[in-house]
Structure 1
Amino acid sequence: MEGNLNNYHNDAIDELMLTSGRHAVVIVVGGGLAGQSAAIEAANCGAQVILIEKESKLGGNSAKATSGINAWGTRAQAKASIMDGGKYFERDTFKSGIGGNTDPSLVKVLSVKSADAIRWLTCLGVPLTVLSQLGGHSRKRTHRAPDKSDGTPVPIGFTIMQTLERHIRNNLSDHITIMENTSVTALLHESKTRPDGVVQVRVKGVEITQNDGEKTQLLADAVILATGGFSNDKTANSLLQKYAPQLSKYPTTNGPWATGDGVKLASALGVKLVDMDKVQLHPTGLIDPKDPANPTKFLGPEALRGSGGILLNKKGERFVNELDLRSVVSQAIIKQDNEYPGANGS
């Protein structure tokens, strides 16, 4: 039986169906892991779902993730006799968020629901049975798939996205309509001002633009924004330049699609934004020696260091604990005055 990732959303969809006497229509914006997960869960609850992706294929940055998923209390941990618990997971999470405004309630949700997420993916056919201890963690709790028979590592992000998309197309095509090459350009809404001055906004659909330039309005009972990453935002109204301009000089491993669309759509309605300046600088990326200054890199995953990879400076010396917090490792790399321009971060 598949576990529910978010009972709140399930209850909301059930209520819509009861009050309207019909199948709820849910629009999900973004075809990454969050978007496809939301679409599957909504469809499992009986909703008719429209999944919208601006690129030519689903996956987004989720398909680029390669290290694994962190969770405690899983079957894999029990089989490996790993002593772990929520207090350790939450302690490590708080420690990694040093310098930020870590929300205890969100950390608790991340911790308590982590094993459910692993079970949910396992039920869909993702074999997350291999454990490793990666940067910032005090226990082996990063789950990934076993290597291929020839020893080649399995790209876990791509594998997850491939599995979810296959499930949608093979088993849920009657409930989920996928629209690729389609951009959401506005949220259709209505608003009213309460006597106390608070403006209430109800989103009732989206305006879309397809590759041929045609604009269309789609109405829905609920709209889920499952997109918003902006670390490759080079647009005129760049969110990266606005909130973390000091990082714009570094290369990025984000795809060209990461231009903050979801954030911009929501903020246009007056939605309050939080922690927009909390952009992480990942320590390692893979550099093309023929083009070291290319502003887009492929991620040098945490799993490389978790499997024993070490970092050396141009003198051949180790200079940092490779499994320390990402912020610590990144700053140590920056201080090394790397030989190649553009190689200081990702």
Structure 2
Amino acid sequence: MIILSMFTSMVFYVFTIITCTVAATLYVRFSVKREGSLYKTISVLLLSFLAYTIMEMFVTFFTELHITKPLFYTLTTLSDVAYFFIAASWLAAIVTISGNPYIIRIKGFCIYTAIYGITVDVLNLMAKFSPSVLGLTQKKTSEILLYINCTFDITLILIGIFFIFYGIFKMKGERQRKWVLLFSSFLVIYMIYITNWDIISCLDEVPNQILFSSFDPAHIFYAAMCILTLYMVSRKNEFRANYYMPEILGITGEETLESVGRKYKLTSRELELLSIACSGLSNPDIAKKLYISKSTVKQHLSHIYKKLNVKNRYELIKKIKL
């Protein structure tokens, strides 16, 4: 039975790795010339899926071969790092697709994830290799790890539920609404599974051979997410912009305008007009705001279009991604 379980697990692991590799390769090739936080975030998410699946496969089958403790915990630590990247990039993708970077600060969540990851791994390693340092029993350490893990898991579950309601009630009629709902629902389902897994593994409620011989169904989920993500981003008509959000990347609008001005050698007047034009005002409104004539506005815009090699305001906004 163990051999059959290992063979089944190997087949699914290989299938998931192939799927993740193909999805990541096609996606990187698709988005190599595109800029914006959406493409960067999805790239990290897909690569994290791939890295996590590979590391988990090594952990699973090397454990069956009774490898040394240092090597085992090195592999599990690397696997944990990949998992932390999955959590952070997954949430960043949801926030980016929602089009509202102010709901959750991605940098803040990344810091929270880093603190959680370091705490869990350090505590786990110290408990395994230097238990006398902590002065805690194995059972007490497992309970502490369980509380920390469940706190992180529940945080993500609540965030996922929040975005489900946000998509339902705040994004009516928006094209990206379905993707927010899908990504958020998958996040909630996945974190519920992870919470159950943390409870089982921390409390040692099942034998080790079951933990490491049975197939982790989450990897099929990773494969499905890779396919879904690749399909979503390849449908360019679903997105009217590249979802480049300066706030998510920690860049202010003024800094972005200045970089655009330097890059395309815009005059201060052209840069001022560009900023107003990107806010959505019409030519007559721009003329009133700057106390200039409509023909002068058209002339300035014509110069800007020429310098940026675009034909209209839509292409202009899309190119500079403000």
Q: TM-score range by the shorter chain?
A: under 0.3
Normalising by structure 2, we get a TM-score of: 0.26
Normalising by structure 1, we get a TM-score of: 0.25
- Give the structure with the larger helix fraction: 2
- Give the structure with the larger strand fraction: 1
Higher RCO by CA contacts (8 Å cutoff, separation 6 or greater): 2
